[in-house]
Amino acid sequence: MILELELGMTFNDILLKILLPLFLTYIISAFVGFERQNVGKAAGLSSHILVALGSAGIAIMQRLMFEQQILLAQSGLNIDPEQQRVIAQVVTGIGFVGAGVIIKDQAHVVRGITTAATIWVTAMVGLILGSGYILVGSILGVLMIVLVLARDFYRGFNPFKPHHKQEPNDREIK
């Protein structure tokens, strides 16, 4: 009841526009993050969930702002289109987060590309679901999960069992 008063939305609106997209984003990003964590990657469960939920939150906020601007325009008030540029900045920002997990080791082998890609795609799933495109976001999320799991099984990994072992070159960053 308090949320309905504060947001000016009914419970069904809150459920469909806020809770459902966040829940689906959480589930999809958790699957991918769990797989990344279990194969020993730096960005795992919590990283993927946080990035995706943050993206979904921004998309939900932007959609609600857009709906508010429509109401203002219908009332004859001026609207500010600059507010609708938030999602573009998220796409760029997530690229920087993904770049942080890409490294070149001492043998000049680049590692972390797949993890960077999964971070970026989970963020985009969050943006899509948060924007209200539940079917599109769900399909993309399922395809991403299938791709990541199929790749692991093809390589002989069971993504549901931890595989990472501490190697001599692994150093803890202080």
Model confidence over 87-130: pLDDT tens digits? Answer: 888 888 888 888 888 888 888 888 888 888 888 888 889 889 88
Please state the pTM of the whole predicted model: 0.67
Residue 39 contacts residue 28 (beta carbons within 8 Å): no
What is the C-alpha to C-alpha distance for residues 131 and 25, in angstroms, rounded to an integer? 11
Q: Which two tokens stand for residue 95?
A: 């690229």
What is the C-alpha to C-alpha distance for residues 32 and 141, in angstroms, rounded to an integer? 9
Domain ranges of the chain: 19-154
Please give the span between the terminal C-alpha atoms of the chain, in angstroms, as a whole number.
47
Angle made by CA atoms 14, 87, 148, in degrees to the nearest 5: 85
- What DSSP designation does 155 have? T
Residue 120 contacts residue 54 (beta carbons within 8 Å): no
pLDDT in the model for residue 174: 46
**Does the pLDDT at position 86 exceed 70?**
yes
Section 136-147 average pLDDT = 88
pLDDT in the model for residue 107: 85
**Does the pLDDT at position 70 exceed 50?**
yes
What is the C-alpha to C-alpha distance for residues 23 and 14, in angstroms, rounded to an integer? 12
pLDDT in the model for residue 163: 61
Q: How many residues does the chain have?
A: 174
Q: Which of 4-13, 41-50, 58-67, 70-79 has the lowest mean pLDDT?
A: 4-13
* Residue-by-residue DSSP string for 17-79: IIIHHHHHHHHHHHHHHHHHHHTT-SS-HHHHHHHHHHHHHHHHHHHHHHHHHHHHHHTT---
